[in-house]
Structure 1
């Protein structure tokens, strides 16, 4: 305890007298002296300016000035960024593609050739786009891609305003001006037919309208104010087909392969729908094959001891069914799938063939064995049950195919309501819907028969 008190007293006295090391040599002075020592040591390798000669001093000064001036000439980051922005803004921006509104009118539809998958049509294609004074001669160069052979075309165009009023060349700068082009196309067009439900099939007759301009320059769209239409009164194949009133449109993109580099082009698809009238096939094919198959069951009235008589009748019926099958196949293209009528005729051929096989078997068994004749009646009952079952299934499939026509009729009703909303007065729209209902009621029976 005494030693601690003596040590503390000596510490306080040394502080008061200013002889303590912490008070005589502060940390700042130590760092300053250390820095001075480092500078003095460095000066031994790089002599100071005072020790240099006058010529060396002037050369050194000029070198420093030159480096300073060159440093000032270096562009700053901000200056480089401003220059890059100016160059980017100076690059011309690409123009958006020009929209061409299309409206198609089927003024006449001719024969629909199921065998060669083509149809005849006379259509009017109305194209409308905004007039550009900087490109006065611009044109979308429309053409129908699925046309067969040489087609006839008539083209006319004029300048109109938004009210479809003609505008002279002197007044084009005072209002929004459109270029209205009307193109009449007459010819034969190809269409892939879907014959799975033949003869109760519904076909889509389409036109593929394509522009020769790339997709970056021109886009084909639907005319929202004047929808496409079809003239049902000028349909030349009304005895064989039923023409619906609604028009389906769709815009897509196709590729032009006949070029050094593939070009993506805008394509406008316009489709009208037709349904085959199946009455001819009901009476001339279905009924006759039904009767032939039914007569095959009456052969069991001949005694099984005379199989030659049974086989003679069934083979005649089989050849008759094959003849009908061949005559119907001439009306259709050679497709790789079976239609409804193909399925019915093939099942009937198989039915008659199975009966012929049984007649030969029962004749052999009766001659060489003591088999009872009752087994022939059991087989007759089995074939009769099979006859009614497969006819019931065929009628069900035919009914399912005919249900798609109800969907088309509903689309017609919606399309008529859409057109009625575009008339100027309510009375005009109401009369249009009434006329559609009258046509629908008068043609509903003929549509399914």
Structure 2
């Protein structure tokens, strides 16, 4: 797995309904009359971004809104964070891989003091305009939010933590750069190997020498490509292609060495030479056909799955977005301000 660091701005609306009387509320019930609200007196959820390496900026504000399910007024704490997050990457499908970008939210309180639940009213969304790495990655539209409970098999006592709320989106690596700068170069080396057959079979020693030189070039190219990736314990699809090309060049060197005893018999050497060039050409075409088919089918499964999730997400977003309700912004001084629609941070 590769350790990925990415910068993201996350906006959270924190709240929970009261399920048990001994658990403090995150949403504070308000009476219909006007009251003076002081944030210092509210229950602090003590939320933590579990995979955040550093927080650059955060902003907290409060608002009063109406629960669309039962018309109950609530005080909602809004938390906007800009931070650098840590993520593990799987590179089996590199360079056409799909990666998760996740934000893990938990609390310093235990399960007896707080319960993290999913918001079943509002859908999570992405700000596509602020995505800066669009030249290298393609950002899918959907956002998945799930709750990860405590591990019952853990050695930690149950109830010590409140579990996690995970918000996850996906990105797909753009493959064009790697095709032009890696795959095409290796393909040129493999096609160039057929120029060895222009030498007369009598000069087989020169064939072996040129094949060995081309193999050393391929090894050097492999090492330069490996320098762009972290040291991982498995082969990516790009590694498999380059390794396949190196095996082909090794087979070519061995074949030239095996036909050396017939170099003094020109007629037989020419017949063997024709069989060799046809066999090596068939092997090269078969390798590229099987590789391209497996690469396309295997990587396309996850990409098509992400596209289906995008389609379902956009349909749900168009049908299930609740009506904008009037909110009352409550600043840190305790005063109230009328605001229509969604609130923006003014920190």
TM-score range, shorter chain: 0.7 to 0.9
Residues 253-292 of structure 1 aligned to structure 2 (within 5 Å): 253-254=149-150, 263-292=160-189
CA drift at 1:115: 6.2
Give the SS at the match of 1:305.
helix
1:405 to 300, 303, 309: 303
SS in 1 for 2:141: strand
Residues 1:127 and 2:28 aligned together: no
2:4 corresponds to which of 117, 124, 127: 117
Q: How far is the alpha carbon of 1:371 from its aligned partner?
A: 5.6
What are the residue-to-residue correspondences of 1:288-303 with 2, within 5 Å? 288-303=185-200
Question: What are the superposed Cα offsets for residues 156-207 of structure 1, whole Å, 9 maximum, x if unpaired?
Answer: 232513169xxxxxxxxxx944231222222221111111111111111111
How many residues align? The count is 300
| Larger relative contact order (Cα-Cα within 8 Å, sequence gap ≥ 6) | 2
Indicate which of 144, 147, 158 corresponds to 2:62.
158
- Deviations 1:88-131 (Å, cap 9, x if unpaired)? xxxxxxxxxxxxxxxxxxxxxxxxxx964221212112212321
Q: Is the 8 A contact 2:55 2:81 kept in 1?
A: yes
SS at match of 2:12: strand
Structure 1's unaligned 5+ residue stretches are 1-113, 165-174, 426-449
The equivalent residue for 1:237 is: 133
What residue is the counterpart of 2:52 in the other structure?
147
Correspondence for 1:106: none
Secondary structure at the residue paired with 1:120? strand
TM-score (norm 2): 0.78
1-side partners of 2:305 and 2:78: how far apart?
33
Deviation (angstroms), 1:283: 1.6
Would you say 1:311 and 2:179 are equivalent positions? no
Q: Equivalent residue for 2:106?
A: 210
CA distance in 1, matches of 2:97, 2:280: 31
Distance 1:319 1:115, change over 3 A: farther
Hey, what's the Cα distance between the residues in 2 that align with 1:416 and 1:358? 57
CA–CA distance in structure 2, aligned partners of residues 388 and 371 of structure 1: 26
Q: Distance in 2 between matches of 1:370 and 1:380?
A: 16
- Structure 1's 120 and 423: CA in aligned 2 closer, same or farther, altered over 3 A? closer
- The residue aligned with 1:415 is 313
What displacement does 1:297 show?
2.3
Q: Which has the higher helix share?
A: 1
Q: C-alpha distance in 2, partners of 1:268/1:376? A: 65
Q: Say which SS state the counterpart of residue 290 (structure 2) adopts.
A: helix
Larger radius of gyration: 1
RMSD: 2.9
Distance 1:311 1:116 in 2: 43
